[in-house]
Each structure stands twice: as structure tokens, then as C-alpha cells.
Amino acid sequence: MTYVKFNNRPLNESLPHIMDELINGLPVLFNESVSSFTNEGVVPVNIKETPNAYSLELVAPGFEKKDFNISLEDNILTISTEINKELQKDDKNKAETKQIRREYRFRDFKRSFTIDEKIDATTIDASYVNGVLVLNLPKKVEVKPAAKNITIQ
């Protein structure tokens, strides 16, 4: 019988964690250029299905309802934003302000989803509450052919 012992390393000492700490610890000027390697422009989305509809929840805090552009063309639902110029501006006294750490920033995004023929595109509605954009995509009502009685001749 062979005895095998695994020595699990703590999660906080894993390589990804070490790399995150290294990148986040670098000066802010370099950290800005590193953001192009991350998943910039990607916002998290949850999609749920109920018997009557699909619900698409998109997390996008810091925006207003007027900042969103939602379009449906050729069965492709596209959700995008253009950043508000006020959100892009840093502090007024930029020369006096030193950024110690930046873990988020407001940026444009664009997500597209293919809509199939089961969705009733004419009744899609959206709401934006507490940083979550919710789109309700109702399913088309299936029309079942009426039962037909056939008489024997």
C-alpha cells in the first residue's frame, strides 16, 4: 500500500493571486496600460427562463437610463453605452491628487445576443434599477391548430 500525501497550498498563495497583487501593486500609470489586457468592455449578464419569457439581467452600475442604447436588428439584440463625459473626468485637482489604487472605472461596453424565433420582438421591454438593466423577452404564444372532427362518410 502506498501512502500519498497532498500538501495543499493556501488559496492566497496561488500564482494567480500573486500575479494580481504584483499587477495591482505597480504604479498607477502602468496599471492603466495593463487594463487593455483584461476583459475590458465585458459586463456580467445573467439569463433566466420562465415558462412565458426570458429575462436578461445586465450589471452596469454608474449609468443612467439615457446612457443605454438597446437595438434589435436582424435577430441580434445589442445593448451598448457611451460613457458620460462627467464620469470620465477625474478629480478637478488632478495635479494635487495621487491615485493610490484603482480597481474600477467607468467605461463603454457593447454586448450582443442572438434572438431566435421563439421571442416576440415587438413586446420586449427594459428597466434599469439599482445598477441592473433587466430586459424582459416574452416568448411567442404558440398557436395550436384547432382540433378538427372528421366524419365518416
Q: How far apart are CA 65 and CA 127, in angstroms?
A: 8
5: buried, middle or exposed (CB in 10 Å: 19+, 13-18, 0-12)?
exposed
- Count of the separate structural domains present in the chain: 2
**39-66 pLDDT, tens digit each:** 555 788 999 999 999 999 999 888 888 8
Q: Are 125 and 61 found together in one domain?
A: yes
Q: How far apart are CA 34 and CA 31, in angstroms?
A: 5
Q: Are 18 and 50 found together in one domain?
A: no
Give residue 84's domain range: 42-138
pLDDT of residue 128: 94
Domain CATH code at residue 89: 2.60.40.790
Q: Are 93 and 127 found together in one domain?
A: yes
